[in-house]
Amino acid sequence: MEGNETKKQKERGTDNEAFEYEDQISIEMQRVSESTDDAPSKTANHHQSLPEKKLEELRGRLAEYKDQTCLIVNLVLAAGFVAMVIAACVLNFHRAVGLLVISLVTIFFLTWDWTMERYGGRMWESLSPIKDLLSRNWSWIRGMMYVLFLVAVVCWVALDTAQRGTRQLVSFSGLLLLIFLMLLFSKHPFRWSWQTLVCGTGLQFVLGLLILRTTFGLSVVRWLGNLAEMFLSFTDAGSQFVFGNSYTDHFFAFRVMPILVFLSSVISILYYTGFMPWLISKIGFIMQVTMGTSPAESMAAAGNIFLGNTDAVLLIRPYVGELTISELHAVMAGGFASISGTILGAFISLGVDATHLLTATIMSAPASLAIAKIFWPERESSVSISNRDLKLIKGESQNILEAASQGASRAVAVVASIIANIIAFLALLAFFDAILSWLGGMFDYPQLSFSLICSYVFMPLSFMMGVSWEDSFIVAELIGIKTFLNEFVAYEKLSELIKKRTAGGPEYVNDVKQYISVHSEAIATYALCGFSNFASLGLCIGALSAMAPDRQSDISSCGLRALIAGSVACFMTACIAGMLYIPDCPTFLSTEFNNTNIISSKQLLDCCTQLYNSVTVYEPWNVTVGGGFTENSLQGCCTLSPPTHFNCSFVL
C-alpha cells in the first residue's frame, strides 16, 4: 500500500512539473508575440518624420492637460457670455431683460448643482439636528400645515366669491366633488396618503394662483407663450420650401403637422445636450419631496410636462419592471393627464391660447400624481432607488446633427399616425352620426348624433367645472369628443368657436349658439389638455408591455383606472382655472357686448372703469381709446354706466 501511494505521489509530481513547463512555454510564446507585435510600431516610430513626432508629442501633452484645457476654454466662453449680457443691458436694458433673467436662472442652478455636488454631504450633516427635531414633531406639524392650508383656501374662496360672484364657488365645489369621487371609488379605500393628496392639490392651486392671479406670473407665462408662438413660426420657412407658397391652403396637413417635426427635432437636441433630463430631474425632485412619492414616478410625472405618455416612460425604462402596481398606475395616469411639447405647439398653431396650454401642462403634473395615488393607493414596498442612483435615460445620438435628424425622423411616424387617426375617427364619427340620425328619425328625432349624446352625458361635469349654463352643453360635447375620439378633433372644434367669437358675429343663429364666452373657453382648454382617450390607452399599454413583458398583466389591469385618473386630473385643473381665471378687460368687454343679453356685474363695471381711464380726450369730438379696448366696448360702457370726465354723447 505504501509503495502504491509513493508511486502515485511521484506521478502527481511529474504531472505538476509538466504543467509548469507548459506554462513557461506559453508565457515565453506570449512575450515573443508581444515583441513581434511591437516591432512594427517601433519600426513605424523610427521612420516617423519630425513633424509627425512633434504632432504626436503635442497630442500627448494635450491629453495630459485635458482637464485644465477644458477649464480654460469654459472660463473664456463664460467670460464672453457675461460680457455679451452686460453689453446688451447697457445698450437697452428693457430689451435685454429676457436674456438677463435666463442667464441669472442658469447661473443659479449651475451654482446650486456644483455646491450640492461638492458640499451637499456636509450641509446635510450640519442640518441633522434640525432634521431630527422636525422628525420627532413632524406628525403634529404636518397636521397643522394641512389645517392652515385648508382654512386659507376656504377663506380665500369665500372672499373671492363675495367679490366676483358665485361662479368661482361652483368651480370649487366641482373640485371637491371630483376628489370625493376618487376617494369613494379608490382601489383600496382609507389607504391613501393625505400628504400626497393635500400637497399635490396644493401645488396645483399655488401654481395656478401664481400664474393666473399675479401680475408677474401672468406676464411671465404670456411672455413664454409669445416666445412659443414666435418660435413655432420658424416652421413656416421649411413648410413654404417643401409645399410652396400656398401651403396654408391645407392648414392642418401643411401648417400644423410640420410643427411636430420641428419641435421633435429641437427636443431631441435638448436630450443630447442633457438639458431636458436635467430640468426634468429638478421638477421631479420638488414633487417627490413635497408629495412623498417615489423617485421613479415623480420623474415620470415631471417628464410628462414636456414629453408624450410613451416618451416620458423611456426616462425610467430600466426601472419599469421593478415598479409596484400603484407606481405603474401613477406613471400611466401622468401620461394621460398631459400632452407632449410637440403636440402643444400644434394646438397653439390652431389658435388656442398659449398661456392656458402652458399653464395646464404645468398644473396637471402634481394633480396626476395626487389623484393616481388616492385612486390606487400604495400597498407594496417600493424599490429603494435614491435620487443619486436614479439615472434618467438620455439621448443615444453621437452628435448634435444626428440628434436633430433622429428627432425629425421619429416625428414622421407621429405625424402619419395623427393624420391617419383623424381621418379614421372623423369618418367613423360621420358614419356613427348617420346611423344615430336614421334611428332617431324613426322616433321623429333625426337630430340625434354622437355630439348631442355627449353634450347631455358630460353637461353636469362641465357645469360643475364652472362653465356657464348656456355654454355647458358645448363644452360637454368637446369633452366627449376628446375622450372617445381624439384631443386633436376636440381642439379643432374649440378653435372654430374661438374664431367665431373673435370675428364678432351673432351669438345665436336659428337658436343655435355659435360660440362660448372667454371664461368657458379657458375652462375647456384646461379640461381638454391631456392624452386621456381610449386610443392613447392602447398605445400606452403596448409601450409599457414592450418595456416590461413580465408585467403585462399588471399593466393591463390598471390601464382603465389610469385613464380615469388622468381625465380627472385634467378636470381638476379646469376647476382651479375656473376659480382663478379672470379674462382681460378688453377681451371680456368685447365678448360681453357681443351678447344679446348683457348682465351688469362688478367685473363688467370695473372693466368699464379701466376703459374710461385709457380714454384720451383731445377735444369734445376727438376721443381716442387706448389699452387695447375698442370703440364698440366704449359705446357699450357708455350705455351701461356713463363716465364723469367726458361726454359720451360724442361717442354714441
20-30 pLDDT per residue, tens: 544 554 555 45
CB 368 within 8 A of CB 304: yes
Decide if 466 is inside a domain. yes
Question: What is the C-alpha separation between 456 and 447, in angstroms, rounded?
Answer: 14
CB 305 within 8 A of CB 498: no
* Domains identified in the chain, total number: 3
In the numeric block, which cell numbers belong to residue 294?
417615489
| pLDDT above 90: residue 463 | yes
| Element (DSSP H or E) covering residue 624 | strand 622-625
CB 502 within 8 A of CB 553: no
pLDDT at 8 over 50: no
Among 57-71, 421-435, 470-484, name the one with the lowest average pLDDT. 57-71
Query: Is residue 478 domain-resident?
Result: yes
- Average pLDDT of span 479-497: 90
pLDDT, average across residues 355-364: 89
From 614, 589, 605, 575, select the one nearest 212 (Cα to Cα): 575
Q: What is the pLDDT of residues 98-153, one digit of tens each?
A: 788 888 888 887 788 788 777 777 777 777 777 777 777 777 877 788 788 888 87
% residues pLDDT > 90 (the chain): 14
Residue 505 predicted with pLDDT over 60: yes
Q: Which of 70-74, 173-177, 427-431, 603-607 has the highest mean pLDDT?
A: 173-177
Cite the DSSP H helix spans in 48-166: 50-64, 66-91, 97-126, 128-136, 138-164
Find the helix packing angle between 354-375 and 194-212, rounded to 10°. Answer: 170
Q: Rounded distance, CA 219 to CA 196, Å?
A: 30
Strand stretches in 425-559, DSSP E:
508-509, 512-513
Instruction: Tell me whether residue 224 is in a domain.
Output: no
Query: Of residues 264 and 647, which shows the higher confidence score?
Result: 264
In a domain, 511, yes or no: yes
Angle at which helices 257-273 and 400-441 cross, to 10°: 140
Sign of the C-alpha dihedral computed for residues 199, 202, 204 and 206 taken in this order: negative
The SS3 of residue 512 is strand
The yes-or-no verdict on residue 461 having pLDDT over 90 is: yes
Q: Is residue 537 situated within a structural domain? A: yes
In this structure, are 427 and 508 located in the same domain? yes
The verdict on 498 and 600 lying in the same domain is: no
Closest CA to 352 of 456, 257, 228, 201: 228
- Pair (479, 600) in one structural domain: no
Q: Does the residue 73 lie in any domain?
A: yes
| Residue 531: domain span | 417-548
Looking at the structure, tell me whether residues 542 and 642 fall in a common domain.
no
Residue 353 backbone class (left: φ over 0; alpha: ψ -120 to 50; beta: rest)? beta
Kindly state whether residue 618 falls inside one of the protein's structural domains: yes
C-alpha span between 392 and 274 (Å, rounded): 10
Residue 615's SS3 state is strand
Q: What is the mean pLDDT of residues 242-266?
A: 80
- Give the model's pLDDT for residue 43: 47
For residues 424 and 529, what is the distance between their CA atoms, to the nearest angstrom? 22
Backbone angles phi, psi at 99, to 5 degrees: -65, -40
Contact 312, 394 (CB under 8 A): no
Q: What angle do CA 630, 634, 636 make, to 5 degrees?
A: 115
Position 10 in a domain: no
Give yes or no for a contact between 224 and 358, defined as CB atoms under 8 angstroms apart.
yes
- The rounded distance, in Å, linking the Cα atoms of 105 and 598 is 46
Whether residues 507 and 440 fall in one domain: yes
